[in-house]
């Protein structure tokens, strides 16, 4: 979404993670997506790094309203993203996958996740987005995880009192920015030399 927001042209290579192409593994031994290979051969293989690179490259001006990094609360933005990427992600995985051997049930993980949802709901009671009335990096970084969470049990999620969070999620799901980035692509095939 950040690359689209910043109008950065990329060669998209859709991959199957159970059939990781050697070119992807050569670029990033992590073996996970995303991986962005820049023209100078710099490798960015963390979503947040890619997002920050794109925004800094495209909107370096502090007065540019399209610069998602410019918010009144940069410490809060970093804190929210950190909670999302650690405690909430762990709770989401437990709720979503309910793997054997977990110390908690999926519903207990859901309860853990709700601590973060409550924080987001409180922020959205004050603003249209998490950190104000304009979309920020924090919104875009957190949105995919809330989307996953809501998708585990949509019936339950939309019956909760997280009305502002539901509206926030709907705004993203119906946005052109999201729909244009979710277009399906053919799986990229490595060219073999004979």
Are domains 2-65 and 74-178 of this chain identical in fold? no
- pLDDT mean across residues, the chain: 91
Alpha-carbon torsion (42, 73, 84, 59), positive or negative: negative
Beta bridge partners of 37: 43
Q: Report pTM.
A: 0.89
CA dihedral 94, 97, 102, 104 (to 10 degrees): 50
For 101-154, the pLDDT digits (tens) are: 668 999 999 999 999 999 999 999 999 999 998 999 999 999 999 999 999 999
Rg (alpha carbons) of the chain, rounded to whole number: 18
Reported as a single tens digit per residue, the pLDDT across 65-101 is: 788 887 777 889 999 999 999 999 999 999 999 865 6
- Report residue 41 as tokens: 């051969």
Range 2-65 has CATH code 3.40.30.10? yes
15: confidence class by pLDDT, cuts 50, 70, 90: confident
CATH 3.30.70.1250 applies to domain 74-178 = no
DSSP string for residues in 123-141: HHHHSSBTTBSS--HHHHH
Q: Which of 136, 142, 140 is nearest to 119 (CA)?
A: 142
Question: What is the rounded distance in angstroms from the CA atom of residue 61 to the CA atom of residue 76?
Answer: 21
What does the domain layout of the chain look like in residue ranges?
Answer: 2-65, 74-178
Question: CB count, 10 Å around CB of 44?
Answer: 19
């Amino acid at each position: 979404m950040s690359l689209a927001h910043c109008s950065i042209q990329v060669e998209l290579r859709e991959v199957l993670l159970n059939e990781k192409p050697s070119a992807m593994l050569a670029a990033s031994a992590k073996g996970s997506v995303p991986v962005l290979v820049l023209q100078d051969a710099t490798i960015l293989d963390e979503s947040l790094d890619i997002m920050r690179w794109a925004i800094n490259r495209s909107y370096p001006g502090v007065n540019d309203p399209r610069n998602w990094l410019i918010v009144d609360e940069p410490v809060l933005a970093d804190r929210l993203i950190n909670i999302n990427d650690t405690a909430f992600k762990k709770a989401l995985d437990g709720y979503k996958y309910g793997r054997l051997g977990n110390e908690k049930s999926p519903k207990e993980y859901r309860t853990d996740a709700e601590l973060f949802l409550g924080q987001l709901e409180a922020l959205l009671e004050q603003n249209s987005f998490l950190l104000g009335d304009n979309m920020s990096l924090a919104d875009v970084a957190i949105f995919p995880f809330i989307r996953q969470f809501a998708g585990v049990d949509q019936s339950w999620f939309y019956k909760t009192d997280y009305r502002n969070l539901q509206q926030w999620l709907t705004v993203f799901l119906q946005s052109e920015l999201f729909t244009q980035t979710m277009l399906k692509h053919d799986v990229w095939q490595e060219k073999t030399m004979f």
